[in-house]
Amino acid sequence: MTNLDTGNLIYLIVLLAMVAGWFFMQSREGLNKTLQYAAVWAMIFVGAAAAVGLWQDISRDARRSQISYSDTDQIIVPRARDGHYYLSAEVNGTSIRFVVDTGATDMVLTQSDAKRAGIDPGDLAYLGRANTANGEVRTAFVRLDSVQLGSVSDHDVPAVVNEGQMEQSLLGMGYLQRWGRIEIAGGELILTR
């Protein structure tokens, strides 16, 4: 806890003790009524504390920056609540949402994302193998006509299509190494060309 948090906690405890003392001193003969009032005030206090905590979460998320693109070919991606970095890229003219995965060797498309990008997963030869958290899966090598991220456009980009079940396409090191600099600082992923 910071000094400010500790000070706020002490203030609230003293305030609560004063309100509780006032209740007990106000009506000594009506102890049952006093306990009812104390229970009501306790619920109000807990509700107010929960509302303050919830408001802080909401306002922190509202202040969280969105993905920003600069004229200097720099992309800043904020960390999501789950700790990952997500961004959308135009693949063959279609917007596809990726999770940035520095542990993935290649750019990996799900079958549904590949289909949206104009690649028929049924026509592919799944000759490659990849070890994933869910075990080994078969992959098919493809070349993407174009990948555009912000103002940066790349052509003839190698990627793979995963034959197994995947929830999200991965933006792996095969694509990320095209950027001159990859930096993670202050809860942001910064890609610079």
Q: pLDDT tens digits, residue range 120-129?
A: 999 999 999 9
54, 133: one domain: no
Number of domains in the chain: 2
pLDDT band at 63 (very low <50, low <70, confident <90, very high): very low
* Sign of the Cα pseudo-torsion (141, 179, 91, 62, in order): positive
Identify the CATH number of the domain in which residue 157 sits: 2.40.70.10
- Phi, psi values for residue 83, rounded to 5°: 90, -5
Identify the domain containing residue 163 by its residue range. 68-192
* Nearest residue to 96 via CA among 74, 67, 117, 75: 117
Instruction: Count CB atoms within 10 A of the CB of residue 145.
Output: 13
Q: Does 73 share its domain with 123? A: yes
Q: What's the pTM?
A: 0.65
Higher-confidence residue of 133 and 101: namely 101
